[in-house]
Structure 1
Amino acid sequence: MVSPWGDLAPKRRRFGPVGRSVVTLGRRRGTYTYLFARGAFCQGATAPNDSGFMTAPYRCWAEVDLDALRSNLAWLRHRVGPHTRILTVVKADAYGHGLKQIAALLMQSGTDIFGVANLAEARNVRLVGRGWPILMLGACLPEDVSLVVCDGIMPTLSSLEEARSFSKEAQRQNKTVEVHLKVDTGMGRLGVCPEGAANLARAIVRLPGLRLAGLMTHFSAVEDDVAFTRQQEKKFAEVIKAIEALGIVVPYIHACNSGGVLFEPKALYNLVRPGLLVYGIIPPGKRKPSAMLARHLKPALQWKSRVTLVKEVPAGTPLSYGHTCYTRRRTRLAIVGCGYGDGYMRSGSQRASVLIGGQLCPVLGRVTMDQTLVDVTALPHAKVGDEVVLLGRQGRREITAAQLAEWFGTIPWEVLTNISYRVPRVYRGGQAS
C-alpha cells in the first residue's frame, strides 16, 4: 500500500488525540504534534512551510497555532491579576479551533474552569481529561439532568423549577451539585430578573443536594454602549449586595466576557469568561483597546486553500451561478478550492478578497459550494497549487477575522464557528512547559 505521505513518509508516528512524535521528513527532522481533527487524522503533510506548519495537500484547511493560544491565556492571566480566575469558553468546537485539542492545550496551560454550551461539549472535555470544573453556560434540557449530575458538571440556573429538578436528581444519586445562578441584567436570554434573584438564591441554598457555587450575569453591549453596560453593572452589584445581606456566601462572582475583560476592569470580580480573546481576536465595536494592549494578542487560526486551476477568459465572460458578474477586460482567473460548503460564506460574493502571493485578489461572481473564482490578472506567475489565504497573514498583508466578517456582513464569532467540519485542522506547537 502506498503511504499517503509519499516519499516523505515519517519513520515513526504516534496517533492519538494529542499524540506527539519525533519524525523524519525527507532531510528535515523535527517534533510535530499530530492530532485527530474531528475524528480524522490530519495526514498527508509534505514538508514544513516557512511558518513552521505542515503544508498539506488539502484542498482547504485551517492551521491552529497552539503556542499562540498559550500566549494569549498567559496575557489574560496577567491582565486580570492573581485574584481572578479564568473560565475559558470552548463552546462551538472551541470557536472552530477544535474542542478536544484546545481543551488539552488549556489543561496543560492551567486554565481554571471550562465553559461549554451543552452536555455534549462538556462530555467531550471530560474525554480529554478529568478534574477540571466545567460550567454549562446554556440551559439544561430535562432529559439531560441526570447525566449532568452524574458527570459532575455545573449547570446554570435561571428558575426555581430548574433548581428543584437538580435537587431531586442530586438526592436520587446521593450527590451534591454545584450550580451557578444567572441574573438577566439586560440580555433578555437566560437568567432570573434582578428583583427575584435574592429570593431564588435563598431557595437554592435551602434545597438539599445543591451548592450555590456561582452568581453571574452577561454584558450584552460592552463593546459599544458604555452607559448601558454601567446600568447592568449597577443592577448586578445590587443583586450581590442583597444576597450577601441574606448571609449567603457565593464562591464565584462573574460578569465579564472578552469585552468586559478589555473595557470593564472594575467588573472583573473573581472570575472572568473570555472567549474570543483566548483565540487572539479583539471583539469589534465602538470601544477600541489601546494599540499596546492589542499587540499582546496573537490570532491562533489561519484558514487556507489552494489554487486548483488558472485560466484566461475574454471580456464579457459571465462568471459563476446566476451570471451576476461579467468580466470587463481579458481576465486571468484562479479557481480556489473552497466554497460555502467549507464555511466561506456566499455573502462574500464579489465583496471578499483572498491573499495569493502576498497580494489581495478579489472574489468574482458568486461563491459556490466547493469553489470560488478570484481575479489574478495582476499576478502573472500565479499557478495551480499556490497557497491561498482566506483568513490570516501572507507576506506583509493580513486578512483579519474582523475584515473577513465585514466582507461577509457578519461578526468574527460567526466566521470562526462557521468553518465547516470538512475542513481539517492542522496543529502546531503546544509543547508542555
Structure 2
Amino acid sequence: MVQHRCPDTRWSWVEIDKGALRRNTRAFKEKLEPGVRMMAVVKADAYGHGAVECVKVMHAAGADQFAVATVEEGLELRRAGVTWPILILSEPPMECVQTLIENDIMPSVYTPEFALAYGECAAAFDKVGKYHLAIETGMTRIGVGWKDALEFRHSIDFHRGLSCAGTFTHFATADVPNDWTFGLQYRRFTEAVAEMRAAGVDCGLVHCDNTPATVLHPETHLDMCRVGVGLYGMQPADSTRPHISLDPVMSVRARVTRVVYPPVGSGVGYGQTYSVARQNVQIATFPIGYADGLARSLSGKMDVLVHGTRCPQVGNICMDQCMFAVDVNTTRAARPMDEVHYGDLVTVMGADGDERITAEEIADLRGTINYEVTCNFGARLEKVYI
C-alpha cells in the first residue's frame, strides 16, 4: 500500500514524483540527435512543480540549459546553487541589467535600447553580457521582425560588452499537423538565420522548437529544443499523444478533516447549492479551495477519489476548503462505497487504485488547459517530493 506523506501544518499538498520527471526528461532527450541540446523550461516554478528540485532532476536526466520567465525566477535558481545556463524568455526591464550581469542570467533581447544598456553594464564590470536574440516570425508576441534581424544585429554588434549566445523564435501552431502557419514561421526563421550567417554574424545556438515541435518535427530541432509542459507528464496536444509516452508528475492530495451524516434536506456550503436528498449520505470536508488552485467554477462538476472510488464534489468550493458526498452502501446509492472517516486520503488529481483524475480532465471541466491547472495547484499547496 502506498504511504502518502503530508505536511504537519495542513492536510493538503501536491506530490511531485521525481521518478516520473526523470523518465519524461529522458524520453525527450532520446528524441534528439547527438549534439542537439535540450533547454528545460522551468518558468512559473516549473509549472507549479517546484523549479529548484525539478532542475536538479532534469539536469541529471539530460537537460543542458534552463529557461524561466522572470528575473526573480532566475535568481531563485542561482541562489539555490544552480550553475547551468539560464535564459529569460523575454526582455526584462532595463533597470535589472546589473542583476543579470552579476548573476550570469541571459536575457532575451529585441530592442536596441535594452541591448546597449545591457552591454554598457557588462563592460563596466569588465564582463561580456550573453543574450539570445528573439525573432518574431508570426506569433505576434515578442522579438525583432524576421526581416529586420540582420539590421538589428548590425546596430548592436559593435559593442564589446555583448555576445549572442543564441537565436530563437516561438511557434504558434506546432501542435497542428500539416499547419501552413507553422511552415511559414519556420521558413521565415531559417531565412533570417541564413541571412545573418551569410553576413558573418554569429547566431549562437539556434532554436525554435517548443514541446509539440520537439515531438512532431524532428527536422526543426536545429541546435537546441526548448521542452516545457511535456517534462511534467502532460501532453501539449492530442496530436503528440501517439508519439511519446509520458508519466504525470504532479498529484494533488488531502485528508478528510470532518465527516458527518447530515439530516435529509440539509444544505451544503455557501449559497446552499446542494441539498442532502436521502439518508445514509455522508458529507466530508477537506482543506483545499480556490485559493489553492481548485477553481470555484468546478463547484458541483468534479469528482474526487476516496478509497479508489469517485465521489462527487458538492456545494460551492470555498477559498480554503470544499466538500464531497459519499453514498454509503445502500440499494439506492448512486455510487455505493464504505464509510469515509476523519483522516482518510482524498485525491483531487492523480491516481488512487484503478481510478485516475488527470490535469486534462480538470482542465476540460474548467474550459482551460492542463498547464494552468498545475500552475494553480502549485502556487500555495506545499510540495512533497517522492
TM-score normalised over the length of structure 2:
0.92
Tell me the CA shift for residue 323 of structure 1. Answer: 2.8
Task: Check if 1:411 corresponds to 2:363.
Answer: no
Q: Within 5 A, what are the aligned runs for 1:78-157? A: 78-157=30-109
Q: 1:267-306 to 2 correspondence within 5 Å?
A: 267-285=220-238, 287-290=239-242, 293-295=243-245, 297-306=246-255
Q: 1:387 aligns with which of 345, 363, 383?
A: 345
2:273 corresponding residue in structure 1? 324
Change in CA separation of 1:159 and 1:303 when aligned onto 2, cut-off 3 Å: same
- Counterpart of 2:188 (choices 235, 239, 257) is 235
Give yes or no for the alignment of 1:312 onto 2:274: no
**2:306 counterpart of 1:348:** no
Q: Paired residue for 2:216?
A: 263
Rounded to whole Å, the distance in 1 between the matches of 2:310 and 2:62 is 39
Aligned pairs for 1:188-203 (under 5 A) are: 188-203=140-155
Q: CA deviation at 1:110?
A: 4.2
Identical-residue share of aligned pairs (%)? 32
Alpha-carbon shift at residue 276 of structure 1 (Å): 0.8
What TM-score, normalized to structure 1? 0.82
Aligned to 2:330: none
1:213 corresponds to 2:213: no
Q: Residue in 1 aligned with 2:112?
A: 160
Q: Which residue of 2 aligns with 1:37?
A: none
Cα contact 2:29–2:63 (8 A) shared by 1? no
Partner residue in 1 for 2:202: 249
Paired with 1:86 and 1:53, the residues of 2 have a C-alpha distance of 33
Contact 2:285 2:324 in 1 (8 A): yes
Shift of residue 93, structure 1, vs aligned partner: 0.9
1:154 match: secondary structure: coil
Which of the numbers 402, 408, 414 marks the counterpart of 2:360?
Answer: 402
Provide structure 1 residue ranges, at least 5 long, that are not aligned to the other structure. Answer: 1-49, 429-433
Q: Of residues 315, 331, 353 in structure 2, which corresponds to 1:365?
A: 315
Q: Does the residue aligned with 1:418 lie in a helix, a strand or coil?
A: helix
Unaligned 5+ runs, structure 2: 328-335
1:104–1:129 contact (8 Å) kept in structure 2: no
Instruction: Give RMSD over aligned pairs.
Output: 1.9
Of the structure 1 ranges 53-62 and 258-267, higher mean CA displacement relative to structure 2 is found in 53-62
Tell whether the 8 Å contact from 2:215 to 2:244 is kept in structure 1 after alignment: no
- The answer to whether the 8 A contact 1:365-1:373 is kept is yes
Q: CA deviation at 1:241?
A: 1.7
* CA deviations over 1:373-393 (Å, ceiling 9, x no partner): 112113232222111111111
Question: Any idea what SS the aligned residue of 1:255 has?
Answer: strand
Structure 1 residues 86-140: Cα deviation after superposition (integer angstroms, max 9, x where no partner): 1111111111111222223334334211111111111111122253111111221
In the alignment, which of 275, 279, 283 is matched to residue 333 of structure 1?
Answer: 283
Check 1:105–1:53 CA distance in 2 against 1; reply closer, same or farther (3 A cut): farther
**CA distance change for structure 1 residues 213 and 351 in 2, over 3 Å: closer, same or farther?**
same
Q: Give the direction of change, closer, same or farther, for the CA distance of 1:357–1:130 in structure 2 (3 Å limit).
A: closer
| Deviation for aligned residue 1:53 | 4.6
Letter in 2 for 1:54: R
In 1, Cα distance between equivalents of 2:176 and 2:272: 39
**Alignment size in residue pairs:** 375
Distance 1:157 1:249 in 2: 15
In 1, the alpha carbon distance for the partners of 2:147 and 2:115 equals 18
Q: Distance in 1 between matches of 2:6 and 2:378?
A: 19
Q: Please tell me whether the aligned partners of residues 212 and 240 of structure 2 are also in contact (alpha carbons under 8 angstroms).
A: no
Q: Structure 2: how far apart are the matches of 1:144 and 1:278?
A: 30
Aligned to 2:23: 71
